[in-house]
A = this chain, B = another copy of it.
């Protein structure tokens, strides 16, 4: 259940509302919403609805038709716009994130950061903790990788996003990263979702490769319900019977998610197809479908990459891609940051 607060709801009103919720044995999750605020109340029933409706400061009660009430979109209200520094997801300007799959060395991440900056992207990505199918594959540089990533980001003036895979590492990663990524394999790692739900930093949540759109939204509901409303969703391809491409990019999920949730939705064309030459096409398709941004893998020297080289753009490939995007964005009423 969600209680929408009246624009003129004052602090005394609010205290009364929260009190009523807590007396019912439930938790109140206050989040900014539209011009005012709303309160998510997981598990609330009819009785509490009646109580709250009578309180001053309450504009209305929303019974969650969807099972993901906190992230579901109400027709009458604008989407939310999580921020990373001065960057705003979900607004008219697209957010493009780029960088290597993994931080491999100081030189590599710095080269990548400069190339990303030169190409005009808004954020830098790079993995320090890598979830790898085989225990014998490169597992990332860990803590050292975080430091190198943060350094490179500072040097070129780009905020950074990196993956966290262990609830015990959330604090550590949050010290270095401007945004934390939950990867596809961890979309239903509920301990991890709860851990980033208690965080004061935005989260990039990737769709599991085997997850439905509804499960994706419920995973986001864990984070928002935990107290962190700053969530950006990322479609990155799902599994199919065809091995022609690494995954099937579920482009339809983008407009569907935008209808269902107020959270922004970006796309990862690199994991979606796994083939460098297809990445620019998928990128443009995602934007034409209404995506709020992209996260694209780029490596200074893809053929030497320790992971995902085959799907990484070169710096010049990224540059070409970036130059092609303003026209596509413009064709659907969006623009790139200037």
A binding-site residues for B, Cβ under 8 Å: 42-43, 67-68, 131-136, 165-168, 185-186, 188-191, 208-215, 218, 221-222, 225-226, 238-245, 248-256, 259, 272-273, 275, 277-278, 281-282, 284-290, 324, 327-328, 330-332
One complex includes copies of this chain to the number of: 4
The chain B residue sitting closest to A195, CB to CB, is B166
Asked whether, in the complex, the Cβ of A209 is within 8 Å of the Cβ of B212, the reply is: no
The chain B residue sitting closest to A329, CB to CB, is B331
The docked-state distance in angstroms from the alpha carbon of A191 to that of B67 is 30
Asked whether, in the complex, the Cβ of A278 is within 8 Å of the Cβ of B255, the reply is: yes
- Most B C-beta atoms less than 10 A away, residue of A211, A213, A259: A211
Minimum distance in angstroms from A280 CB to a CB of chain B: 8
Asked whether, in the complex, the Cβ of B245 is within 8 Å of the Cβ of A248, the reply is: no
- Chain B neighbourhood of A249, CB < 8 A: 250-252
Given A244-B213, A250-B248, A272-B252, are A188 and B330 also a contact pair (CB < 8 Å)?
A: no
The chain B residue sitting closest to A190, CB to CB, is B131
Asked whether, in the complex, the Cβ of B331 is within 8 Å of the Cβ of A284, the reply is: yes
Asked whether, in the complex, the Cβ of B256 is within 8 Å of the Cβ of A278, the reply is: yes
Minimum distance in angstroms from A241 CB to a CB of chain B: 4
- Chain B neighbourhood of A189, CB < 8 A: 165, 185-186, 189
Contact of A165 among B166, B191, B214 (CB under 8 A): B191
The docked-state distance in angstroms from the alpha carbon of A43 to that of B207 is 32
Contact of A67 among B134, B167, B253, B272 (CB under 8 A): B134
Minimum distance in angstroms from A265 CB to a CB of chain B: 12
- Chain B neighbourhood of A245, CB < 8 A: 252-253, 256
The chain B residue sitting closest to A246, CB to CB, is B252
The chain B residue sitting closest to A284, CB to CB, is B288
The docked-state distance in angstroms from the alpha carbon of A243 to that of B273 is 18
Asked whether, in the complex, the Cβ of A285 is within 8 Å of the Cβ of B289, the reply is: yes
Asked whether, in the complex, the Cβ of A242 is within 8 Å of the Cβ of B213, the reply is: yes
Given A222-B135, A250-B248, are A242 and B212 also a contact pair (CB < 8 Å)?
A: yes
- Chain B neighbourhood of A226, CB < 8 A: 135
The chain B residue sitting closest to A69, CB to CB, is B136
- Chain B neighbourhood of A331, CB < 8 A: 284, 288, 324, 327-328, 330-331
- Chain B neighbourhood of A185, CB < 8 A: 188-189
The docked-state distance in angstroms from the alpha carbon of A281 to that of B251 is 9
- Chain B neighbourhood of A168, CB < 8 A: 167-168, 191
- Chain B neighbourhood of A134, CB < 8 A: 67-68, 218, 221
- Chain B neighbourhood of A251, CB < 8 A: 249, 251, 282, 285
Asked whether, in the complex, the Cβ of B136 is within 8 Å of the Cβ of A67, the reply is: yes
Instruction: For the complex of A and B, list the 9 residue pairs with the smallest distance between their C-beta atoms, beginning with the closest.
Output: A210-B210, A288-B288, A327-B331, A255-B281, A166-B191, A285-B289, A284-B288, A239-B241, A285-B285
Minimum distance in angstroms from A240 CB to a CB of chain B: 6
